[in-house]
Amino acid sequence: MSAPSEQDLSAVRTAVREVCAKYGSEYWRGLDKEGAYPDAFVREMTELGWLAALIPQEYGGGGMSLTEASVILEEINRSGGLALAAHAQMYIMGILLRHASEEQKRRYLPDIAAGKLRLQAFAVTEPDAGSETTRIQTTAVRKGDRYVVNGQKVFISRVKQSDLMVLLARTTPYDELDDKTRGLSAFIVDLRDAGERLRVEPIEVMFNHHTNTLFFDDLEVPAENLIGEEGMGFRYIIDSWNAERILIAAEAVGDADWFIERATSYANQRVVFGRPIGANQGVQFPIAQAYAHTRAADLVRYDAAARYDRGESCGAEANMAKLLASEASWEAANVCMNTHGGYGFATEYDVERKFRETRLLITAPVNNNLVLAYLGQHVLGMPRSY
């Protein structure tokens, strides 16, 4: 197992780094204070085509590999920014590319690639289902040429910053199903047409993120916006999980490297008891340990991405990459806080901000317990634990 040659990725890395350099720590810190969305950054990244990396060239996108796309998100986080604000377009792309009709692709992808439409929202989670997605209760009932949607979603991010949303809703009642993974369908919802049929209530969370509770009250979605076959939506979403996990792993690696770089630099220049604090093993070794864990996670991430790009199965590797990289970034975050002593708590150092941001990657888009359950059951052959 080896990382791809840095030469192969350096063009993407360097170009994204140049954009990120214009949006320094002060930019992200200011947004964090105001709870504001990084509009200028997302606009520039969109105009330069970086957020359309996974859209094939025939639809006006970058036609890049998942490995390259993951480097884009990694570099945003490594620069001190927050890829989470704009990453969903990449996650969702897998569902559209594999399962949307040619007509749907032609209708949406060129405009998304050109930056005329934003597809940044993905509505799966519900209050009573949590991680058990097959238990979701939001219904989509077919009435002639439309589906009528009723129900509630929670923690649905970037709805107010998006034109389109992919929605998972129930089209067959749970009790009528023999196979509980059927009966859910995926739709493209045009948020610009939703009006009062969709109520969006922001949820304040511990970092600068725009997530919401959604209430659907007879929201009408044209039947032509159904993705693929009715009842197969959960399968389509599972198909997209590997890409999502690899991209999240890359964001976590970017965070971890930011923390390690900041910790190392502070450990070298902060002098207490007459010498740099980094001369103490109690300070130096945890940073070195976090670095080693990050590099190991990074190798698994590249291995998973390469398998994905070759069209091979990569469930085990994608899950392990997400697990190891989110743990490595959380370890690095704590080490960076410890290294900074009291200053880690001062907002001007950005450590506490990045600390709050990176913690999410353990929990969402899938929590690490469910990743372990996947490995235990599907890779190691132990009994299903959930």
Ligand X SMILES: Cc1cc2nc3c(=O)[nH]c(=O)nc-3n(C[C@H](O)[C@H](O)[C@H](O)COP(=O)(O)OP(=O)(O)OC[C@H]3O[C@@H](n4cnc5c(N)ncnc54)[C@H](O)[C@@H]3O)c2cc1C
Binding stretches for ligand X (CB under 6 A): 122-125, 130-131, 155-157, 205, 209, 211, 360, 363-367, 369, 373, 385-386
Q: How far is the CB of 5 from ligand X (least distance, A)?
A: 34
The DSSP-derived string for 53-109 is TTS-GGGTS----HHHHHHHHHHHHHTT--GGGT-HHHHHHHHHHHHS-HHHHHHHH
Asked if residue 333 lies in contact with residue 357, where contact means CB atoms within 8 angstroms, the answer is no
Q: How far is the CB of 310 from ligand X (least distance, A)?
A: 28
Closest CA to 54 of 240, 235, 302, 192: 240
Cβ proximity to ligand X: between 65 and 208 the closer is 208
Cβ proximity to ligand X: between 300 and 366 the closer is 366
Instruction: Give CA separation, 30 vs 17, 141, 189, in Å.
Output: 20, 44, 32
Cβ proximity to ligand X: between 92 and 335 the closer is 92
Cβ proximity to ligand X: between 125 and 242 the closer is 125
CA–CA distance, 150 with 199 (Å, rounded to integer): 11
Cβ proximity to ligand X: between 161 and 284 the closer is 161
Q: Which residues pair with 187 in a beta bridge?
A: 167, 226
Cβ proximity to ligand X: between 92 and 304 the closer is 92
Q: How far is the CB of 259 from ligand X (least distance, A)?
A: 20
Q: How far is the CB of 368 from ligand X (least distance, A)?
A: 7
CA–CA distance, 212 with 126 (Å, rounded to integer): 11
Closest CA to 15 of 92, 68, 90, 61: 68
CA–CA distance, 269 with 298 (Å, rounded to integer): 28
Closest CA to 242 of 136, 323, 165, 319: 319
Cβ proximity to ligand X: between 112 and 371 the closer is 371
Asked if residue 12 lies in contact with residue 71, where contact means CB atoms within 8 angstroms, the answer is yes
Q: How far is the CB of 320 from ligand X (least distance, A)?
A: 17
The DSSP-derived string for 277-315 is GGGSHHHHHHHHHHHHHHHHHHHHHHHHHHHHHTT---H
Asked if residue 267 lies in contact with residue 277, where contact means CB atoms within 8 angstroms, the answer is yes
CA–CA distance, 73 with 107 (Å, rounded to integer): 26
Cβ proximity to ligand X: between 123 and 305 the closer is 123
In terms of C-beta distances under 8 Å and separation of at least 24 residues, what long-range contacts does 200-203 make, across chains too?
Answer: 200/159, 200/160, 202/160, 203/154, 203/155
Q: How far is the CB of 134 from ligand X (least distance, A)?
A: 12
Q: How far is the CB of 286 from ligand X (least distance, A)?
A: 25
Which tokens is 116 given?
């005329």
Cβ proximity to ligand X: between 147 and 241 the closer is 241
Q: How far is the CB of 237 from ligand X (least distance, A)?
A: 9
Chain position whose Cβ is nearest to ligand X: 130
Q: How far is the CB of 267 from ligand X (least distance, A)?
A: 31
